[in-house]
Chains A and B, each alone.
Chain A
Amino acid sequence: MKRNEKRILERIIPISIILTWATIRKLLISKKVIGIIVLCLIPVIIFSLWRFDMFPEDREVLYKSRWENIPELEEKVTDENVTIDINLNSFNIVFPLAVSETFRLDISFSGTTTGPVDHLLIKIFLYFDESYPATNIFDQISPLLNGTLRGAIDLNVLVFKGTGAQGDNDWRTWEFKLNYQPLVNETLGNGFSEDIGNGLPVGTNELSELIKPRLGFYLRGFSDNKGTEKNWSFTYEEVWLEFDEEALTDFGVVGKDTKEVSAVEDGYKVFFDAALPIYFILIIPLITILYSISVIREDIENHTMVYLLTRPVSKTEILFFKYKGFIISAWIPLAISLSLSFFITASNEGSIFLHTGYVGTILLLMTLMVFAYGALFFIFALITSYPTVLGLLYVFFVETLIYQQSNVINRFSIMFHIQSIADGMLGDIANVGLYQLTTVTDSLIILIGVTIVFLTIALYIFSYRDFT
């Protein structure tokens, strides 16, 4: 190794340590640290209170969906001795928003019966709010439509599974699982398909804005031993789940009865439906704005950058080590806060470590966001005296408004790629299926590439502008 190269290597380590530490220390002693702590604590406190039922009314708000017993059918219970209890195990429904996307319904529930039941019939209805003109949609989804309920999809499932001591024919206990994802044969672009075969409506129209979907099902028990001319229907239990429009969030449409779903799953849902969006949309962007801009801007405005620029340290090193200091300073409180929120919401009956793999994925997503946003906000801090305003405008317009667009423009937001990775790595649990996203690999490459490009631009500006 040449003498000069060795010397450069020998000096780079202490310089790296001192510059990174100086950046961290400066952020730690700045008043901004109070804001960071508050931002990180808010979700932890909110979800701690939720976990310990300190404000159950807010728990309702988080779900934005509810069970309703509507409407009464004409058929009535014919045998008071037969009862059916239903427990909903899991439930997920995904509505399509683009031509290439498909409707998906996953449902799982189980229950018990009393009385001489030898098989069950389940009917599942999905129907849409009356405000949506049925002719535009329901004419196209035949043959699945049933005209009895306006615009409803009616699935009749005659036989499923008994799980009592006598096996499949024993209906004292039973379980039902349905995964329904119709094939889409043909589409018409900006609108719904005309001849969709056995598929469901797809199109670029945003269903979430047009319709108010409701899903309901009822269960009836039958016995061949009773009666001679026909199967007797003994009883039915009917439940309806209605989605508020607000429930159709970016993270998918999830409805469940808080009383019926187990607490562990409930916690996951709360974390992925409520906590994670708060971090992604609010806390992570705000913390990166506060810290990354401060790291650069304060030295420019206080005229202290000159002390760094007049040392045998290259501008690349100064910028890179400042960036490194910012990453560490922002990452640690965010990682602690995110992990705490996750374990608090998902904790129940000692099962909090069942899915710790999720934490790794969530931290990866957060890290990618901090890297990309940090590099972008470094540019803002270098080109304008009002980088915070610019940063907030960017987050609002690009990462919120543009990201929510259902066409290709949303791919220009960082959030879109974060969502793609979340969708790919977390799957249904994150309920991000509203959009058809890119692959995990594509989005990872894009985010890493974007971060490198942002840092290169920041370095170019830093090298040529007069900050003294």
Chain B
Amino acid sequence: MSNSSKEKYSEDIITITHVSKWYGQVIGLNDISINIKRGITGLLGPNGAGKSTMFKIITGQIKPMLGHVKIYNKPVWNNYLLWEKIGYCPEFDSFWSELTGFKFIYFLSKLHGISSDDAKKRTEQALKLVDMVKDSHRKIKGYSKGMRQRIKVAQALVHDPEILILDEPLSGTDPIAKFTLINLFQQLESEGKTLIISSHVLEEVERITDNILLIHKGRLLAEGRIQEIRDLIDKYPHNIFIKTVDVSKLAQRLIKESSVLSVSKQDKPKGLMVQTHKPDQFYSKIANIILEENVEITQMSSTDDNLDAVFRYLVE
């Protein structure tokens, strides 16, 4: 890496200084100070840890009670013009679902004050990046969870921002969508963009970056020490939910795996809850198992119970 590249990558893009936020008696964030540099930063923490609060503060949607946040050395609160350089993918699975994917992104791109032709071009480019061109003229309400996640990411990309803030972008995605999105994030990183990606699943974040921020109960627990977290997490049983209609067939096959501790059926939604103490091994094998058994799965997600246990351990 050249000196100028090194300088470029060591530059602080986002500066968070002693930020605290309370919701009544509940602490959302507690005296957090971080400098985020170019590249991908993973924000890891269980549900309710404060990830979304931190994102809302970083993006100026809410004001911290103490401290301040700056992007490119400019305060974010009430600085809406910064949004020309930032793309944000929210956590909520919410849309104007009567719109098609194309119109949804086109409308949001128009809010950047660009011409209709330019907005169309950018919309097409963004859809291409998330591999949603084919289905872009269908209404969003007919999309699968994975497609909706990709549309959310596309709307964050449509104005070609320098910074991308993505709140649980891989949550609920199928393996294909996950693969597409992870490749996209790494491509964007190679283009010199800054990405902050939150997740409560360590494996997901690990596949994207080794630079993580660990947050729990509003406090920053660790920064950048992914191997330590990995060692810890492997000690605890790991729950993975697989949404499938071929419940019995897949259960019989999975229980034979040495990495699987237990398999239990779930009715709503219909699927299997798999407990494993070797998640890496399980994830590496699951794709082959699906192909061999010819079963259809529509969703695979890790619950955060195990991660919460790790966080409790860390806090203690």
Is there a chain B Cβ closer than 8 Å to A306's Cβ? yes
CB distance from B53 to the nearest CB of A (A): 9
Within 8 Å by CB of B80, from A26, A303, A306, A313, lies A313
B112 beta carbon closer than 8 Å to chain A: yes
Shortest A307–chain B CB gap in Å is 6
Q: Is B62 an interface residue (CB 8 A)?
A: yes
Q: Give chain B nearest CB distance to A13 CB in angstroms.
A: 8
Known A-B contacts A310-B88, A464-B63; the reply to A303 vs B113 at CB < 8 A is: no
The answer to whether the Cβ of B283 comes within 8 Å of any Cβ in the partner chain is no
A312-B83, A314-B80, A466-B62 given as contacts; is B94 within 8 A of A304 (CB)?
A: yes
CA distance A111 to B90 in the complex (A): 79
Least CB distance from A316 to B in Å reads 9
Contact string, B93-135, partner A, CB cutoff 8 A, digits 1/0? 0111010000000011011111100000000000000000000
In the complex, how many angstroms separate the beta carbon of A463 from the nearest chain B beta carbon?
8
Residues of B within 8 A of A14 (CB): 110, 113-115
CB distance from B62 to the nearest CB of A (A): 5
**A179 beta carbon closer than 8 Å to chain B:** no
Q: Which residues of B contact A19 (CB under 8 A)?
A: 111
Q: Are B96 and A311 in contact (CB under 8 A)?
A: no
Q: Which residue of chain A is the closest to B63 with respect to CB atoms? A: A464
For residue A309, CB closer than 8 A to chain B, the reply is: yes
User: Is A12 part of the binding interface, using a Cβ–Cβ cutoff of 8 Å?
Assistant: yes
Taking a contact as CB atoms under 8 Å apart, the answer to whether B92 and A306 are in contact is yes
Contact of B113 with A309 in the complex, beta carbons under 8 Å: no
Chain B contacts for A309, CB-based, 8 A: 61
Residues 74-88 of chain B: 1 if any A CB is under 8 Å from the residue's CB, otherwise 0? 000010111110101
B155 within 8 A of partner (CB)? yes
Cβ–Cβ contact B112 & A311, under 8 A: yes
- On whether the beta carbons of A466 and B98 are closer than 8 Å, the reply is no
Contact B61 A306 (CB under 8 A): yes
Please, which residue of chain A has its CB at the minimum distance from the CB of B93? A303
Interface status of B56 (Cβ within 8 A of chain A) = yes
List CB contacts (< 8 Å) of A285-326 with chain B.
Answer: 302-304, 306-315
Q: A12: which B residues are within 8 A, CB to CB?
A: 113
- CB of B107 within 8 A of CB of A466, answer no
CB distance from B106 to the nearest CB of A (A): 9
Question: A62 contacts the other chain (Cβ, under 8 Å)?
Answer: no
Q: Does A34 contact B (CB under 8 A)?
A: no
Cβ of B82 to closest chain A Cβ, rounded Å: 8
Residues of A within 8 A of B98 (CB): 29
Name the CB-closest residue of A to B155.
A307
Known: A303-B92, A303-B94, A468-B56. A312 touches B84 (CB 8 A): yes
Task: Report the bound CA distance from A304 to B90 in whole Å.
Answer: 9
Chain A min CB distance to B183 (Å): 24
**Contact at A310–B59, with CB atoms within 8 Å?**
yes
From the candidates A10, A306, A468, name the one contacting B113 in the complex (CB within 8 A): A10
| Chain B residues within 8 Å of A22, by CB | 107
Instruction: Kindly state whether residue A359 has any CB partner on chain B within 8 Å.
Output: no
CB-based contact B83/A310 at 8 Å: yes
CB of A448 within 8 A of chain B? no
- Report the minimal beta-carbon distance from A466 to chain B, rounded to whole angstroms: 5
Contact B61 A15 (CB under 8 A): no
* Residue from A15, A22, A311, A463 having most chain B Cβ neighbours under 10 A: A311
B residues in contact with A303, CB < 8 Å: 90, 92, 94
Question: In the complex, which residues of chain A have a beta carbon less than 8 angstroms from the beta carbon of B108?
Answer: 307, 311
Q: Is A18 an interface residue (CB 8 A)?
A: yes
Q: What's the Cα separation between A220 and B270 when bound, in Å?
A: 94
Residues of B within 8 A of A (CB): 56, 59, 61-63, 78, 80-84, 86, 88, 90, 92, 94-96, 98, 107-108, 110-115, 155
Q: Which residues of A does B touch, CB under 8 Å? A: 10-12, 14-15, 18-19, 22, 26, 29, 302-304, 306-315, 463-464, 466, 468
15 A-B residue pairs with CB within 8 Å:
A14-B113, A15-B111, A303-B94, A304-B95, A304-B96, A306-B88, A307-B90, A310-B88, A310-B90, A311-B83, A312-B82, A312-B83, A312-B113, A315-B80, A466-B61
Q: A18-B107, A306-B88, A306-B92 are in contact. List 10 more A-B contacts (CB 8 A).
A: A10-B113, A14-B113, A26-B96, A302-B94, A307-B155, A310-B61, A310-B83, A311-B111, A312-B113, A463-B78
A-B pairs with lowest CB-CB distance, top 9: A11-B113, A303-B94, A303-B92, A311-B111, A310-B88, A312-B83, A18-B110, A466-B62, A306-B90
